[in-house]
C-alpha cells in the first residue's frame, strides 16, 4: 500500500537538518536528507570508515615514502663513509715504516677499494715521484 500524504501547512514541523515534514498515516513524519537519521532527523549518520580506494592510496603512499626515506638514509651513510675515508687518507701523516708496508696504509686501502684520492694529496704518489733509484 502506498503512503498517503496530506498538507502540513497547519502542523508545526519539528524536523531538523533540512528534513521534509509530511503527514504519514495521520502522524507527522520527517523525511531526512542524506546523512541524517532519527524520528526528527536529529542524528548524524557516521560516515563509514575509509573506502578501499582511500586505504590503498594511503598504503601505497606510505610504502613509497618509507622506501624513499630508506634509500636516502643509505645514500647519506655511504657518502658520509666515503668522505670520512677520503678525509682520513688525506690528513693522516704516515710514518716511514707504514709507508714501506703499503698494504696496511690507508691510501693503499683507498686505492684497493677503487676510491680516488686527489693526486696532490696522495702520499704514495708523492713518494714515487720524488724517490730516485
Domain presence at residue 132: no
| Residue in this structure with the C-alpha cell 613509497, named with its chain if needed | 64
What domain range is 21 assigned to? 5-44
| One-character DSSP codes across 70-95 | HHHHHHHHHHHHHHHHHHHHHHPPPP
Place of cell 496530506: 6
DSSP 26: T
pLDDT one-digit tens code per residue, 53-82: 888 999 999 999 999 999 999 999 999 988
How do residues 11-70 score in pLDDT, each as one tens digit?
677 888 888 888 877 788 888 998 898 888 998 887 766 778 888 999 999 999 999 999
Q: What is the pTM of this model?
A: 0.35
Q: Are residues 90 and 122 in the same domain?
A: yes
Give bridge partners of residue 29 from the DSSP assignment.
22
Number of structural domains found in the chain: 2
Residue 25 shares a structural domain with residue 85:
no
CATH number at residue 18: 2.10.25.10
Amino acid at each position: 500500500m502506498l503512503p498517503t500524504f496530506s498538507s502540513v501547512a497547519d502542523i508545526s514541523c519539528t524536523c531538523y537538518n533540512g528534513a521534509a515534514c509530511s503527514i504519514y498515516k495521520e502522524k507527522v513524519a520527517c523525511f531526512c536528507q542524506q546523512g541524517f537519521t532519527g524520528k526528527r532527523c536529529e542524528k548524524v549518520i557516521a560516515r563509514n570508515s575509509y573506502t578501499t580506494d582511500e586505504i590503498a592510496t594511503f598504503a601505497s603512499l606510505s610504502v613509497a615514502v618509507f622506501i624513499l626515506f630508506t634509500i636516502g638514509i643509505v645514500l647519506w651513510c655511504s657518502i658520509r663513509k666515503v668522505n670520512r675515508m677520503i678525509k682520513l687518507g688525506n690528513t693522516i701523516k704516515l710514518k716511514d715504516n707504514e709507508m714501506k708496508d703499503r698494504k696496511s696504509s690507508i691510501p693503499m686501502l683507498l686505492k684497493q677499494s677503487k676510491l680516488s684520492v686527489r693526486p696532490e694529496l696522495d702520499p704514495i704518489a708523492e713518494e714515487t715521484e720524488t724517490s730516485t733509484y
